[in-house]
Amino acid sequence: MARKVALAVDLGASGGRVVSGAFDGRILELEELHRFENAPVSMAGQLTWDLPRLWQEVVAGLRTAGSRHGAAVSTVGVDTWGVDFSFLGPDGMLLANPVCYRDARTRGMLAAAERTVPRGEIFDATGLQFMEINSLYQFLALKAANSSILSAADRMLMIPDLLHWLLCGAVSNERTNASTTQCYDPRHADWAFGMLDRFGLPRRIFGPLTDPGTDLGILRPEVAVETGLHAVHVVVPGTHDTASAVAAVPAPEPPSSRPDWCYVSLGTWALVGAELDRPLVSAECLARNFTNEGGVGGTTRLLKNVCGLWLVQQCRAAWQRAGQGWTWDQLTALAAEAPPLATLVDPNDPSLVAPADMPEALRALAKRAGEPVPDSTGAVVRAALESVAAAIRRTLRELDELLGRRVSRVHVVGGGVKNRLLCQMIADATGRAVVAGPVEATAIGNLLVQIAGREGPIDLRAIRAIVRDSFEPERYEPRDAARWNDRLD
């Protein structure tokens, strides 16, 4: 068969890229066409995303795709992080740049929300992990501030929904990203309107939900002219980046209620969980603060968010500002030479959310926790990496209890796979085999859902067979589990 080319716009909180996937019916071949930085911008005391610049970068990547692949390109789809959004007005125009989830506007809103709707009832309605960054608390912050933007809003669009709207003009709310808002009911597969009414949030902003694989239509004429891509369809992937990444986990087993494998989608965040065939909304999930998010093919991603490589990313940024231009490989090498398991902290501690100086924040947290204060660059990085691995260990033990079995295999996917030291730490910390890869899981899942969506219903087993044929993972066996058990048990 003639090779089909799909385009994935994969946008993360620290950078984005446009990736092409050429598929010959069996093997998917990737090519990164354009890469760019992303970071929130402080404007008038508020952290916002620079959507116009991000759109310019997306168009630049599509233009490269047009010149490289031309008429072979058939589809494009966007995935991003969750929770963030903006609004369209009644005239169909964008009302404001989306605000970053790290902005301070949600501080105190979780407690305020629970004074209106008790915590247990919020969880029963949404099945979602409680984090103050969730969209629900962003909406409530706007309401508390009597926001003119919320008053004027006609439709809420998540970040990938906004980019799909810019690409083709379709107004849609894709399900996997909507499921991160804490406004979505996973058991009824719709917005949690009963709860939203109790908070006084306007129903009109929450539109009909769209499933992965849906064709939204062709590119706007002006986008086609600017990029050289004509008759290209915008096909919705799992627009939450973790939904796309999990779709590309090369596991042979179908979704079930008691899977024998779990995943860690490892990047800025480490999302640790299992793929289920139905939501698990229970008192035990609430007690452990697990979340039920939508997956591709009607699956549920039962998971917990753990801070991931954000700690090292922000350490590196602080050192760069001080004139120390460490590369990622250099930092990993320094960490490998530092003493093991000297300092462990909670990577999800609020003091590490957005500190001005991450290395100092880690040292201060270690001191408060009664842990040895890391005194070198390598020791700081090792403390960050081992703290993430220890948090993954704790989370997997909780997951075992929720599933009623000990999962035997950990699939690590995403950019963090490149950090072989951290992959080995995860194997050692958890005492389980780690299958690492593919690195580009998010883009791969995005691309294959687009391709499959043009053919009919999404078949996850067929998608994963393509992943296994196309990409070779790396396996890590535990080799220092006893040391971790002695340190943590």
User: What pLDDT is attached to residue 256?
Assistant: 81
Please state the rounded mean pLDDT for residues 329-341. 98
Alpha helices in 29-158 (DSSP H): 51-69, 109-116, 119-126, 135-144, 148-152
Query: In b/e form, how buried is each residue of 129-139, taking b as 16+ CB within 10 angstroms?
Result: bbbbbbbbbbb
User: What pLDDT is attached to residue 53?
Assistant: 97
Please state the rounded mean pLDDT for residues 341-358. 95
Alpha helices in 188-345 (DSSP H): 193-198, 221-227, 241-247, 283-288, 310-321, 328-337
Please state the rounded mean pLDDT for residues 233-241. 97
- Give the Cα separation of 464 and 249 in Å (integer): 7
Condensed to tens digits (0 to 9), the pLDDT of residues 182-192 reads: 999 999 999 99
Query: In b/e form, how buried is each residue of 217-226, taking b as 16+ CB within 10 angstroms?
Result: ebbbeebbee
DSSP, collapsed to helix, strand or coil, labels residue 265 as strand
Please state the rounded mean pLDDT for residues 151-179. 98
- Give the Cα separation of 10 and 1 in Å (integer): 27
455 Cβ contact list (under 8 Å, min separation 6):
none
Band of pLDDT at residue 268, cut at 50, 70 and 90? confident
Determine contact, residues 466/26, Cβ cutoff 8 Å. Answer: yes
Q: What Rg value do the Cα atoms of the chain yield, rounded?
A: 22
Query: In b/e form, how buried is each residue of 371-396, taking b as 16+ CB within 10 angstroms?
Result: bebbeebbbbbbbbbbbbbbbbbbbb
Band of pLDDT at residue 46, cut at 50, 70 and 90? very high
Please state the rounded mean pLDDT for residues 126-151. 96
- Give the Cα separation of 87 and 471 in Å (integer): 39
Determine contact, residues 478/432, Cβ cutoff 8 Å. Answer: yes
Give the closest residue to 195 by CA, choosing from 135, 245, 146: 135
Condensed to tens digits (0 to 9), the pLDDT of residues 358-368 reads: 999 999 999 99
| 302: its two tokens | 């039962």
User: What pLDDT is attached to residue 479?
Assistant: 97
User: What pLDDT is attached to residue 253?
Assistant: 86
User: What pLDDT is attached to residue 60?
Assistant: 98
- By 3-state DSSP, what share of the chain in percent is helix, strand and coil, each rounded to 5? 45, 20, 35
Angle at 195 between CA 277 and CA 182, to 5 degrees: 50
User: What pLDDT is attached to residue 13?
Assistant: 86
Condensed to tens digits (0 to 9), the pLDDT of residues 169-225 reads: 999 999 999 999 999 999 999 999 999 999 999 999 999 999 999 999 999 999 999
- Give the Cα separation of 86 and 407 in Å (integer): 39
Rounded to two decimals, the pTM is 0.92
User: What pLDDT is attached to residue 2?
Assistant: 66
- Give the Cα separation of 176 and 77 in Å (integer): 14
Band of pLDDT at residue 353, cut at 50, 70 and 90? confident
| 426: its two tokens | 């995860």
Please state the rounded mean pLDDT for residues 372-380. 98
DSSP codes joined into one string, 446-469: HHHHHHHHTTSS--HHHHHHHHHH
Question: Is the predicted pLDDT of residue 480 greater than 60, yes or no?
Answer: yes
Identify the structural domains of the chain with CATH numbers, from first to last.
Answer: 4-235 (3.30.420.40), 249-437+459-489 (3.30.420.40)
Give the closest residue to 411 by CA, choosing from 256, 212, 176, 247: 247
Q: Considering the chain, what is the average pLDDT of its residues?
A: 96
Q: Tell me the angle at which helices 420-430 and 481-488 cross, rounded to the nearest 10 degrees.
A: 60
| 441: its two tokens | 């899981």
Sign of the dihedral through C-alpha 454, 455, 460, 464: negative
Determine contact, residues 87/149, Cβ cutoff 8 Å. Answer: yes
User: Which positions are annotated as active-site residues?
Assistant: 241
Cα 222 off chain centre by: 30
User: What pLDDT is attached to residue 95?
Assistant: 98
Determine contact, residues 102/47, Cβ cutoff 8 Å. Answer: yes
Question: Is the predicted pLDDT of residue 61 greater than 60, yes or no?
Answer: yes
User: What pLDDT is attached to residue 210?
Assistant: 97
Question: Is the predicted pLDDT of residue 1 greater than 60, yes or no?
Answer: no
Question: Is the predicted pLDDT of residue 333 greater than 70, yes or no?
Answer: yes
Please state the rounded mean pLDDT for residues 150-170. 98
